[in-house]
């Protein structure tokens, strides 16, 4: 029992260590080299699959996309990019007239579209071209509608090997357009280490001034809130402090549906022509942006793995304007995806891995693989998917899978190197001596079979066949071996069935011990019952034998007392056995059966230890060689020879 507790303790400890290590290794803040990066990358992929196959929420009733698509480029007046500013002005006026509540333009109107030349007396560097007619129309259209214009901040490294510097490369709309606009919105798109857009910024900073992101800007003005204050609320609600959101200014986008299925999309040219349903625009956020491949505003997102609707399953990138729409939708409905806190992930990984470790010890590796590892993996996958789908909760999956797998591997190795090797040795040593039930007890507590010498109390069983020497002389060897094996097979089975341990065969004799290596309080009863059953079954064998066969009569001696148990032998050969006066007396009693005409003889020491009721008959005191005093000996009903024998 103590051994079992130690093994389970080690198994659980290894599982616990596996879970803690997996949680640490898979954490986004870990700096453990490429392995940690790969594992975190695997977690991001598992997150993408969960989000990509989440149930679609259908078309939004609050956001519409006017897309600059390939179909619009086929329009005669829109074949060359950039398109005339007056066309953008017409689109804004048409959207305003259709009742659009807020318009977000994912186009940076930097500079003017004028083709005027600078006067000869003015340095071109300090000269600003005047607004063209198209620009003036665009300014008027922007000011007449609640319009947010795009801007972008950034930087790039310039210089050589000896010296370098960071150069700000921000893009803003022309100041006339900016003044006419309701607000500016950043279209910066943060991406994870694998280039996937899973997050969106709430705001950006430029020269100590903060600008809301386009998604936050349109959502705030749509709901009549201050964009920057709304951004602070979003950061608090979306757990922006978590390491999975390293910028501390962003939140996870809860993509509404696969690409092209979450928002009403109207081609740009239709809005330009006024050929669209005004109900798809009225009282909505309208986002204008590019989806045409030639404009290179397509990005990898978690839902990209589902491809385009109606197409075969393959990856497809999402237009930047649709990413903005999904981010705005996330804010409008407060559907923030909340990453599980680090402590919870660590706790779950540790608990599941510790459970896996216990299952490996309890079930052994192969069964634990099917009955432990597989159900735990399936449960972790199903629960993690459901949490994201139903509760918008991101429970990291890879740490759990790595933890239980590593726990299985470590505990399997531990068993192979220690417990199973020891069990194999014990099984080889004891499988032929004891019953399967006793074997399981020994395996669960190997100290019972320790090789060091130890003192035990038990009953020694000795048996011998009467007339065996003459039989060997008169018969051919094959018959001798066949006959003796019949008896030894029968005696071994009966002894093992009663919990005894067969120690050795001495010619036709058997030496066994009851009470070692597994202690039994009723060892004397077990030994006597085994002796009686052997005599009964031998009598049945004699009745069925031919007249010509040898009449095998068995004599049995039993004596109880203290024994010394342990491995004895030389450096090259060892044997587990018991020694002491108790063994010698039992052997003497077996031989004395011949003098008293009995089949079973037991000492008064054995008789005093009997718990059950037996029909014992005292044979008086007898001198036993090796003992200073006479010993009272007894026999039992069923152990006396028949008159015929």
**pLDDT at residue 156 is higher than 70:** no
Which DSSP string corresponds to 237-286?
HTTTTSTTSTTSSEEE----SSTTTSSEEEEHHHHHHT-S-GGGTTTSEE
Q: Band the pLDDT of 435: cuts 50, 70, 90.
A: very low
Give the percent of the chain with pLDDT over 70. Answer: 88
pLDDT of residue 643: 32
Residue 480's pLDDT is: 77
DSSP 3-state of 433: coil
Q: What tens digit of pLDDT does each residue of 216-260 get?
A: 999 999 999 999 999 999 999 998 888 888 777 899 999 999 999
Give φ, ψ of 605 to 5 degrees. Answer: -65, -40
* Distance (Å, whole) CA 279 – CA 300: 31
Structure confidence at residue 437 as a pLDDT band (50, 70, 90): very low
The pLDDT of residue 38 is above 50: yes
What fold characterizes domain 450-636? Alpha-Beta Plaits (3.30.70)
- Cα dihedral 73, 74, 80, 84 sign: negative
CA distance 210 to 226: 13
442 — pLDDT class (breaks 50, 70, 90): low
Instruction: Estimate the share of the chain in helix, then strand, then coil, as percent rounded to the nearest 5.
Output: 45, 20, 35
Q: Is the pTM for the entire model greater than 0.75?
A: no
> If you average pLDDT over residues 412-431, what whole number do you get?
70
Rg of the Cα trace of the chain?
45
* Predicted confidence band of residue 433 (pLDDT cuts 50, 70, 90): low
Q: Is the peptide bond before 116 cis (omega within 30 degrees of 0)?
A: no
Weakest-pLDDT range from 14-18, 27-31, 484-488, 561-565: 27-31
Asked if the model's pLDDT at residue 473 lies above 80, the reply is no
Most confident of the ranges 110-114, 157-161, 348-352, 454-458: 348-352
**184 vs 455, more confident:** 184
Q: Which residue has the tokens 């936050």?
A: 216
Q: What is the pLDDT of residues 203-217, one digit of tens each?
A: 999 888 999 999 999
DSSP tag of 154: -
Q: What is the pLDDT of residue 625?
A: 83
Mean pLDDT (whole number) for 40-54: 93
Predicted pLDDT at 578: 83
Assess whether pLDDT exceeds 80 at residue 284: yes
- The contacts of residue 282 (CB under 8 Å, 6+ apart) are 98, 99, 100
* CA separation for the pair 300, 426 (Å, rounded): 60
Burial class (CB in 10 A: 0-12, 13-18, 19+), 262: buried
The continuous run of DSSP H or E covering 137 comes out as helix 133-144
Read out DSSP for 525-566? Answer: HHHHHHHHHHHHHHHHHHHHS-TTS----EEEEEEEEEEEEE
**What CA–CA distance (Å, rounded) separates 360 from 410?**
10
Share of the chain above pLDDT 90, in %: 60
Instruction: Please give the average per-residue pLDDT across 54-60, as a whole number.
Output: 93
Looking at residue 425, its pLDDT comes to 64
User: Domain limits of the chain?
Assistant: 2-50+340-427, 61-110+142-153+174-335, 450-636
How would you label 488-513 residue by residue, b for 16+ Cβ within 10 Å and e otherwise?
Answer: bebbbebbbebbbbbbeeeebbbbbb
Neighbour-count burial for 572-598, b at 16+ CB within 10 Å, e otherwise: eeeebbbeeebbbbbbbbbebbeebeb
pLDDT digits (tens, 9 = 90+) for 502-540: 888 887 889 999 998 888 899 999 999 999 999 999 888
Q: Is the pLDDT of residue 140 over 70?
A: yes
Lowest mean pLDDT among 291-300, 406-415, 445-454, 478-487: 445-454
Between 33-42, 266-275, 404-413, the lowest mean confidence (pLDDT) is in 33-42
Residue 199 pLDDT > 80: yes
For the stretch 594-636, pLDDT in tens is 888 899 999 999 999 999 889 999 999 988 887 888 999 999 9
Interacting residues of 79 by C-beta distance below 8 A, sequence separation 6+: 73
> What is the pLDDT at residue 7?
81
pLDDT band at 116 (very low <50, low <70, confident <90, very high): confident
Comparing 1-10, 327-336, 398-407, 532-541, the range with the smallest average pLDDT is: 1-10
d(CA 290, CA 297): 6
């Amino acid at each position: 029992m103590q051994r079992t507790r130690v093994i389970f303790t080690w198994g659980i400890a290894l599982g616990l260590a596996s879970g803690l290590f997996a949680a640490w290794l898979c954490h986004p803040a870990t700096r453990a080299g490429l392995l940690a990066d790969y594992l975190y990358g695997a977690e991001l992929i598992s997150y993408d699959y969960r989000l990509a196959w989440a149930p679609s929420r259908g078309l939004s009733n609050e956001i519409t996309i006017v897309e600059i698509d390939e179909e619009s480029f086929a329009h005669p007046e829109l074949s060359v990019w950039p398109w005339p500013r007056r066309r953008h002005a017409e689109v804004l006026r048409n959207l305003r007239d259709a009742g659009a509540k807020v318009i977000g333009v994912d186009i940076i109107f930097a500079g003017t579209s004028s083709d005027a030349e600078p006067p000869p007396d003015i340095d071109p560097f300090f000269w600003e071209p005047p607004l063209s007619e198209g620009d003036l129309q665009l300014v008027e259209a922007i000011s007449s509608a609640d319009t947010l214009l795009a801007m972008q901040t950034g930087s790039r490294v310039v210089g050589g090997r000896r010296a370098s510097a960071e150069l700000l490369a921000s893009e803003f709309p022309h100041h006339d357009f900016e003044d006419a606009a309701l607000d500016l919105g950043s279209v910066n798109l943060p991406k994870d280490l694998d280039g996937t857009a899973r997050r969106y910024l709430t705001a950006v900073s430029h020269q100590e001034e903060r600008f809301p992101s386009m998604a936050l800007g349109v959502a705030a003005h749509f709901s009549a809130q201050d964009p920057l204050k709304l951004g602070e609320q979003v950061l608090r609600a979306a757990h922006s402090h978590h390491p999975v959101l390293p910028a501390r200014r962003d939140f996870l986008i809860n993509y509404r549906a696969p690409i092209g299925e979450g928002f009403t999309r109207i081609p740009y040219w239709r809005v330009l022509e006024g050929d669209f349903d005004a109900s798809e625009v009225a009282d909505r956020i309208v986002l204008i942006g590019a989806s045409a491949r030639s404009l290179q505003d397509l990005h990898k997102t978690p839902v990209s793995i589902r491809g385009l609707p109606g197409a075969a399953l393959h990856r497809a990138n999402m237009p930047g304007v649709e990413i903005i729409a999904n981010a705005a939708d996330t804010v409008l409905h407060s559907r923030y995806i909340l990453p599980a806190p680090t402590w919870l992930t660590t706790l779950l990984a540790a608990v599941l891995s510790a459970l896996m470790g216990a299952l490996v010890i309890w079930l052994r590796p192969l069964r634990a693989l099917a009955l432990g590892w597989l159900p735990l993996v399936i449960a972790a996958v199903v629960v993690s998917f459901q949490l994201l789908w139903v509760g918008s909760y991101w429970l990291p999956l890879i740490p759990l899978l790595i933890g239980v797998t590593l726990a299985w591997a470590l505990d399997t190795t531990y068993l192979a190197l220690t417990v199973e090797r020891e069990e194999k040795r014990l099984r080889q040593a004891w499988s032929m001596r004891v019953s399967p039930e006793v074997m399981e007890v020994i395996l669960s507590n190997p100290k019972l079979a320790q090789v060091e010498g130890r003192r035990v109390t038990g009953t020694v069983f000795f048996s011998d066949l009467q007339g065996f020497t003459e039989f060997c002389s008169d018969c051919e060897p094959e018959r001798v071996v066949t006959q003796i094996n019949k008896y030894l097979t029968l005696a071994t089975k009966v002894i093992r069935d009663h919990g005894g341990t067969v120690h050795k065969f001495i010619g036709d004799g058997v030496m066994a011990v009851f009470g070692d290596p597994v202690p039994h309080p009723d060892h004397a009863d077990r030994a006597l019952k085994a002796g009686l059953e052997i005599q009964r079954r031998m009598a049945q064998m004699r009745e069925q034998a031919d007249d010509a066969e040898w009449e095998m009569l068995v004599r049995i001696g039993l004596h109880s007392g203290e024994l010394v148990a342990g491995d004895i032998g030389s450096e090259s050969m060892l044997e587990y056995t018991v020694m002491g006066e108790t063994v010698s007396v039992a052997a003497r009693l077996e031989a004395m059966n011949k003098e008293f005409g009995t089949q079973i003889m037991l000492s008064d020491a054995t008789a005093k230890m009997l718990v059950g009721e037996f029909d014992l008959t005292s044979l008086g005191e007898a001198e036993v060689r090796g003992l200073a005093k006479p010993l009272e000996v007894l026999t039992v009903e069923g152990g006396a020879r028949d008159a015929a024998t």
